[in-house]
Structure 1
Amino acid sequence: MIDDPRAYLASLFHEAVKAADPLAAIRAHLPEKPKGRTVVVGAGKAASQMAAALESLWDGPLEGVVVAQHGPMATCRRIEVLQAAHPVPDAAGLGASDRLLGAVGGLTADDLVIALVSGGGSSLLPAPAGNLTLEDEVAVNRTLLASGAPISAMNVVRKHVSRIKGGRLAYAAAPARVVSLIVSDIPGDNPAHVASGPTVPDGSAPTDALQIVRQYRMNLPERVMAHLASDAAAAPGPDDPAFGNHEHHVIASARVSLEAAAERAHAAGIETVILSDSIEGEARDIGLMHAALAREVRTRNRPFNTPVLILSGGETTVTIRDEGHGKGGRNSEFLLAFAAAIDGLADIHALAADTDGRDGSENNAGAFADGGTIARMRAAGEDPRARLLGHDAFTAFEAIGDIFHTGPTGTNVNDFRAILVL
């Protein structure tokens, strides 16, 4: 059987990340070379790794610029890599947006734009529209992150306060052909929602953004609300002739990564179930749901027989209320709720982590939990319930040494959750 459950769960995480490797994914989707120039633009947590992979595969002239988050990045020779802040935009991102828009200006129908898009691009590409300012876009982003809205809803709002999102970057490249290669971190893999779709338009309208603001009771600056109510907030639609010769490909996703982890587990003789690759909802609530399933398996051997590996992906949310928050992210919050609900049950082991290597405010990918987690926290002087209520799960897991560190992975296909019931 499995001698070291944590090491085993970590190996499955790495298998999932490997399946989203930009080099293999881009190799399978290289576009034909154009008569004219090949210009690369891109943004996201995997931007530098995707750019380096494309450089290694492309044997013709290549130029361009991409933006990645501050921190370690892959080295590129022909494509310039800029860095900006995530998850809250900064002035560096504002300059990067201008550079990307400038890179696609003045192109012809003989030219090709290759857009390398991955999760995180929304924050890395601030470009306030109309009379909005960077401070307005920062306020929008902070409000969205604390709202509890799903990522798809957040990105509808983001694209209607921007002059680069919602297909506008590709629109600026007309009449050049645009091929978008997308690493999806969006449940359901809608390419128009990844990084708020800088090169992929959708049919949403400013009225949809206003409805989301009302639904989640967001308190946005008056200037932002006025903009959303104006014609200036409208984005070009998918039927615009400017997009007629464009194409997009989702080259990596949570589904592919979960299936790779499941295949590895099957090869080791472990029965594996993938619940879904697109689970959304409040992190602590999703944690309780997963815990209920694990308890049912452990105590009643249903709906699955032990031993079994339960996998899931998607993107949960954490709604920050007036009481504020401590350290952590959605995966650690999920896992603390999960740990509390399986307290005292032996032979349940879990890992929850973000495939980009960073979960929320800290530099960890996620954390481990089992039936003894809560007891160890209390022995270390921690109050698990108080930490959960205060959105401070990282502190609780750090106190017992159960944090999972990987460093930046170079890809981003959202959350990876693995529960092993023996």
Structure 2
Amino acid sequence: MKYIKNADILLKHGDVPAKGKILELLDRLWYEMDSYRIIKNMVKIEDGTLHIGECSWDLCKKKNIYLFGAGKACNAMAMAMDEVLGEHLSKGIISVKIAEPEDKYKNTIAYVGGHPLPNKEGMTAALEIIKMIDDACSDDLFISVISGGSSALLTCSVDGITLEDEICTQDTLLRSGAKIGEINAVRRHISLTNGGRLAERILGKGAELINIIVDDGIGELPLVNRNVPVPYSATPVAEDSTTLQDARDCIENYNLKNRIPKSVIEYLWDDDPKKETPKAFNSGITHFVLNSVPDSCEEALKIAKDMGINAMVFSTFLEGEAREAGYFFGSLAREIQANKRPIVPPCFVFCSGEATTTVLDGCTGKGGPGHELALGFALEVKDIDNVALASVDTEGTDGTTVFAGGIVDTHTIRQIEDKGYDYYEIMRNHDSGGALEAIDSSILTGNTGTNVCDFNVMYIGK
């Protein structure tokens, strides 16, 4: 397999036929969603003209061409654009989550930022991008490559809020159980880069911006045509729909006011209108979306059809506690197998979105929502046969692990018990990643070239 590096190990135990079908589908899915391949197919330069999809730009009319970006799929996106632009590229600066040995850039500097929590190197990348923008002129062209994770990887807080304050704020928010949209409302309003601030800075110089995006927003429709520009909001390079009041509501709704640094609270509760993020840009930006969250399910349906296996999409809007979602998927698998509804087995069931976990202070386990969802599912199906599930973070790292997520079947609970683990202690300590790693049930990919939140796939046999 091209993307799953430990498939042989994963298929040495448990329900091998069921897991094999899931792993084949996942590997083919990651190929279809890889933004390096997509960009190389839709972007080219001919006779000094840059073509992106159905649009074109005369590069002879541009003084400098700058590339910048951040995100968990940024490696692949930046490598593709760096190769296409070649000698036309004046300079590139990006912030990535993991630097792989095979990452190669001709004229782009890659910083390794922090995710899920910011770090100093990500802040350095942000400051370097701001300087690059501030030195630009109206004849320059900026191209951004943005994917999920940019809020943490490209961090530069406003004056008066230190990097340590921002790290504490993001850590508190991520452990609170708040939805990602609520968390983003806070992150954007204390940042000099997020929430459209970089676009605002570029347009203020009179320069032009092309934004190439992998969209990880929950609630979007499947992509119709990636070759055609679309309206877009959120990210550092597009208008922001969240408000200062949304940020305050998040903090108050989850009772975080006494847990977040005083500098952040004082900043957000000051009604200075200059602190609001930009809400509209009239011109100067062209957005291309390569993939969005529901596209993983759309592509999976095509792959399942090619594999000759019945399939359905249950939802592309999944949010909430990961373990509870796992319990539900387990009950759905039992319904399908027992009563052949809402689909007849053998079949796949797909679901995308972004589950979360509420982590109390003092928990020392490792893992992420994908591992926890998978283990919750495993408990529900431990007494039936011929079912399996994989829950993965599509960019290749789930929570605090180096693994994309977990794959489980009806044998998983017995296997972890044989290793001396207690299911309920695992869940109390949020150590689902440690437990699944111990029984060789964590999926290893490295960077995948995409980031469209979580993808869950069940296989239910007869």
Mean Cα deviation higher: 248-257 or 357-366: 248-257
Deviation at 1:323, TM superposition (A): 4.6
Q: Does 1:55 align with 2:94?
A: no
Separation in structure 2 between the aligned mates of residue 91 and residue 341 of structure 1, nearest angstrom: 43
Separation in structure 2 between the aligned mates of residue 311 and residue 205 of structure 1, nearest angstrom: 33
Distance 1:308 1:59, change over 3 A: same
Which residue number corresponds to residue 279 of structure 1?
318
Q: Does 1:215 align with 2:253?
A: yes
Contact kept in structure 2, 1:21 and 1:411, CA below 8 Å: yes
CA deviation string 1:212-253 (max 9, x = no partner): 11112222111110000122772342335xx52212222122
CA deviation string 1:189-210 (max 9, x = no partner): 49534xxx11112232211100
Residue 8 (structure 1) aligned to one of 2, 9, 21: 21
Q: Does 1:361 align with 2:409?
A: no
Structure-to-structure mapping, 1:22-421, within 5 angstroms: 22-26=35-39, 27-28=41-42, 30=52, 31-34=56-59, 35-36=61-62, 37-58=64-85, 61-62=88-89, 63-72=91-100, 74-174=103-203, 175-189=206-220, 192-193=233-234, 197-218=235-256, 219-230=259-270, 231=272, 234-240=275-281, 244-421=283-460
CA deviation string 1:65-121 (max 9, x = no partner): 111124316210022222222211111111111011111124333321111001111
Distance 1:173 1:356, change over 3 A: same
CA deviation string 1:5-28 (max 9, x = no partner): 222211211222122211343243
Mean Cα deviation higher: 287-296 or 31-40: 31-40
Distance 1:409 1:239, change over 3 A: closer
CA deviation string 1:116-167 (max 9, x = no partner): 0011111111211121111111011101110111111111110001111111
Distance 1:233 1:300, change over 3 A: farther
Distance 1:222 1:59, change over 3 A: closer
Distance 1:253 1:165, change over 3 A: same
Instruction: Give the SS at the match of 2:211.
Output: strand
Distance 1:33 1:145, change over 3 A: farther
Name stretches of at least 5 consecutive residues in structure 2 with no aligned partner: 1-14, 44-51, 222-231
Deviation at 1:211, TM superposition (A): 0.5
Q: Residue type matched to 2:251 in 1?
A: V
CA deviation string 1:368-412 (max 9, x = no partner): 111121122212211012101211101221232222112222321
Q: Residue type matched to 1:69 in 2?
A: K
Separation in structure 2 between the aligned mates of residue 92 and residue 3 of structure 1, nearest angstrom: 42
Deviation at 1:177, TM superposition (A): 1.2
CA deviation string 1:280-333 (max 9, x = no partner): 111111111211111100122112111110011111101112352401111000
Contact kept in structure 2, 1:48 and 1:76, CA below 8 Å: no
Deviation at 1:258, TM superposition (A): 2.1
Separation in structure 2 between the aligned mates of residue 246 and residue 120 of structure 1, nearest angstrom: 21
Contact kept in structure 2, 1:68 and 1:124, CA below 8 Å: yes
Separation in structure 2 between the aligned mates of residue 142 and residue 236 of structure 1, nearest angstrom: 22
Distance 1:3 1:69, change over 3 A: closer
Distance 1:237 1:295, change over 3 A: same
Distance 1:75 1:189, change over 3 A: farther
Q: Residue type matched to 1:163 in 2?
A: L
Separation in structure 1 between the aligned mates of residue 255 and residue 289 of structure 2, nearest angstrom: 32
Separation in structure 2 between the aligned mates of residue 18 and residue 189 of structure 1, nearest angstrom: 22
Mean Cα deviation higher: 343-352 or 69-78: 69-78
Instruction: Give the SS at the match of 1:45.
Output: coil
Separation in structure 2 between the aligned mates of residue 302 and residue 22 of structure 1, nearest angstrom: 36
Alignment root-mean-square deviation, CA:
1.9
Contact kept in structure 1, 2:86 and 2:106, CA below 8 Å: no
Length-normalised TM-score, structure 2:
0.86
Instruction: Give the SS at the match of 1:273.
Output: strand
Distance 1:18 1:235, change over 3 A: farther
Distance 1:203 1:281, change over 3 A: same
Name stretches of at least 5 consecutive residues in structure 1 with no aligned partner: none
Contact kept in structure 2, 1:288 and 1:341, CA below 8 Å: yes
Instruction: Give the SS at the match of 1:322.
Output: coil
Separation in structure 2 between the aligned mates of residue 57 and residue 33 of structure 1, nearest angstrom: 15
Contact kept in structure 2, 1:13 and 1:416, CA below 8 Å: no
Instruction: Give the SS at the match of 1:280.
Output: strand
Separation in structure 2 between the aligned mates of residue 340 and residue 55 of structure 1, nearest angstrom: 46
